[in-house]
Structure 1
């Protein structure tokens, strides 16, 4: 995978911005160069995170990869952060989502800005799944979809709805905030069925063995029945839960990203079946992420440029 990508918005001169992508178990920092119609990851670093750490430990962990970057001229940062989060104010709303509980009510913008040696107004926030979706929309396909939905699978289920590359967070046909993780399947939150912890737990219940999702996917590819059944149940549930929203939104493309998508061949069949059973649009283009880990980094930079990044930043 190349870290270079093309997009269509012109820009008179090169601009550098910093991106921090916070995942459920890691933080990645990158310097992204924006030049005319190009976006390029210049440098990046990643650090593992324990989402159960204290607030100060989490904030230290978020910015630690940024200190490892070689580019020292970056004075504008955007943070791709999972929800629930107050992106405008930079305040954590976490709670009852099995991650980052210590940041609930914490001024994350102030905490990160002070650690980066910047004023708070030099740090912006965007939803991580929205950043992923924007990266895929702007750089990850040969053609840009009119109405695209992106879901990211990993420690949770992230999502974003895009209309011509604009993030849609409300209105007819879109779940509140564009988030699908609160949706229910068989009376339980969707993440209780389709997430790494849910898949690992289901497999252990069936077999008595503890394996990673990657290992489960490998067994499914080899024809192991229990592994295949676990993944089929999870992906079928995802398809059935998403289908009504894809139909009401009028989506013409569904992109699936996140760590689990590396096992796409053993996921897509059950997903398509679930989508069909749930009434998804028949013309829907269902595709895996092309950019993978680069998607949220490039997408966050794209978002920052579109919102408030001048050429002199």
Structure 2
């Protein structure tokens, strides 16, 4: 019987530690701590350590760690700059810090890659040969798999959809939490509303909210549709906090993607567990 695999998932507001059973890829234990992305490097590392230490993993264990961009996933060095989070970690060897504190070996991967790997192993894309994934939350994440291996499709650059432009503007200036909130405020909407409240306002008949969301999702569909079509994906998996409103957002996304021959589009089956499972899957594999 294989031993549980310890993993960490680091987000902009939280860090989650978990044990994942490789027999069926089930999450068997989790611990979650709030994270201040504007804190000092020591404070951020201390919170990550706490989440990992609670798992009581044996010394020498190989861990999987899902981290957001920008990050050097091969060396474990943080490259955060100008992204509104973790600025204090720039240049810090996170891998070395965790190895010293938790006495293990750490393998890092992008959080969107972890999400799609998890859905491929035990979610909405089980066994699919070619699958793409997008995560819609603070920003837009993307991932691309061929037979369960992360690949660079060429377009978008490095596989990262947020690097694409739409109508001459960076995609995340049009489609992101901050972009949607700003656009709603500019048309006279409540400046305190987050995306969830804007979506609810649209459901209740707020035409301004509906126009803002439709414009953002149409732009996203235009960009994602081209990339997914070029990749020849068999399925597109959608996750992230905004996916909870996909019944509202999906139609405009499909309008934007018209002409791109979208594959089957499915919502994540395990949106919370998928990044943890994906990190565990990476940790279980022999290094490339």
46, 49, 61: which one aligns with 2:35: 49
| Alignment correspondent of 2:242 | 260
Q: Residues 65 and 279 of structure 2 are in contact (CA less than 8 Å); yes or no, is this contact kept in structure 1?
A: yes
CA distance in structure 2 between the partners assigned to 1:72 and 1:304 by the alignment: 14
195, 201, 205: which one aligns with 1:213: 195
Give the match's secondary structure for 1:207.
Answer: coil
| Alignment correspondent of 1:175 | 156
CA distance in structure 2 between the partners assigned to 1:232 and 1:190 by the alignment: 15
CA distance in structure 1 between the partners assigned to 2:279 and 2:28 by the alignment: 15
| Alignment correspondent of 2:267 | 288
Query: 1:112-166, CA deviations, whole angstroms, 9 ceiling, x for partnerless residues?
Result: 22232x15xx111011100100111121127532211101111121111111211
| Alignment correspondent of 2:166 | 185
| Alignment correspondent of 1:248 | 230
| Alignment correspondent of 2:132 | 149
- Long gaps (5+) in structure 1: 1-12, 309-313
CA distance in structure 2 between the partners assigned to 1:66 and 1:53 by the alignment: 19
TM-score in terms of structure 1 length: 0.86
Give the match's secondary structure for 2:38.
Answer: coil
| Alignment correspondent of 1:140 | 123
- Long gaps (5+) in structure 2: none
CA distance in structure 2 between the partners assigned to 1:142 and 1:130 by the alignment: 13
| Alignment correspondent of 2:284 | 305
TM-score in terms of structure 2 length: 0.93
Cα deviation for residue 41 of structure 1 reads: 0.9
CA distance in structure 2 between the partners assigned to 1:80 and 1:201 by the alignment: 29
Give the match's secondary structure for 2:114.
Answer: helix
Superposition pairs of residues 1-313 of structure 1, within 5 angstroms: 13-35=1-23, 38-69=24-55, 71-73=56-58, 75-116=61-102, 118-119=103-104, 122-141=105-124, 143-171=126-154, 174-209=155-190, 210-276=192-258, 279-282=259-262, 284-308=263-287
CA distance in structure 2 between the partners assigned to 1:55 and 1:260 by the alignment: 29
Q: Residues 251 and 281 of structure 1 are in contact (CA less than 8 Å); yes or no, is this contact kept in structure 2?
A: no
Query: 1:86-107, CA deviations, whole angstroms, 9 ceiling, x for partnerless residues?
Result: 1110011221222222222211
CA distance in structure 1 between the partners assigned to 2:117 and 2:125 by the alignment: 14
CA distance in structure 1 between the partners assigned to 2:150 and 2:118 by the alignment: 12
Give the match's secondary structure for 1:137.
Answer: helix
Cα deviation for residue 82 of structure 1 reads: 0.9
CA distance in structure 1 between the partners assigned to 2:117 and 2:285 by the alignment: 11
CA distance in structure 1 between the partners assigned to 2:164 and 2:140 by the alignment: 10
Greater RCO, 1 or 2 (C-alpha within 8 Å, sep 6+) = 2
Give the match's secondary structure for 1:227.
Answer: helix
Rate the CA distance shift 1:31–1:243 in 2: closer, same or farther, 3 A: same
Q: How many residues align?
A: 286
CA distance in structure 2 between the partners assigned to 1:142 and 1:128 by the alignment: 17
